[in-house]
Amino acid sequence: MKTAIRKMGNSQGVLIPKPFLTQIGMEMGDVDIDIENDAIVIRKLAKKPRDGWAEFSKTIAAAGDDKLVMPEFSNEEDKELVW
């Protein structure tokens, strides 16, 4: 498909046809953009960072498996240190 680079505010851009976005299951949002072999490549992000962490944390807490990995430790011995 032939298209044009257009002025968009102080930048330039290309409009991506909705059928293209629909075909790859993408909507408005963040993308990954790179240059590969003299081509501009735009990819949808594979996954958002920390996606699903909140739900997973609730599952762990509900199972009672959210105890500290290392026990608490005091700084009793530090009171003799001079800073």
pLDDT band of residue 36 (cuts 50, 70, 90) is very high
**Which tokens is 40 given?**
């501009």
State which fold the 6-77 domain adopts. Pemi-like Protein 1; Chain: D (2.10.260)
Measured in degrees and rounded to the nearest 5, phi and psi for residue 70 equal -110, 140
Average the pLDDT over 35-49 and give the result: 87
For residue range 22-31, what is the model confidence (pLDDT) as tens digits?
A: 998 888 888 8
| pLDDT for the residue 7 | 95
Q: What is the pLDDT of residues 50-63, one digit of tens each?
A: 888 899 889 988 99
Q: Which residues contact 79 (CB under 8 A, 6 or more apart)?
A: none
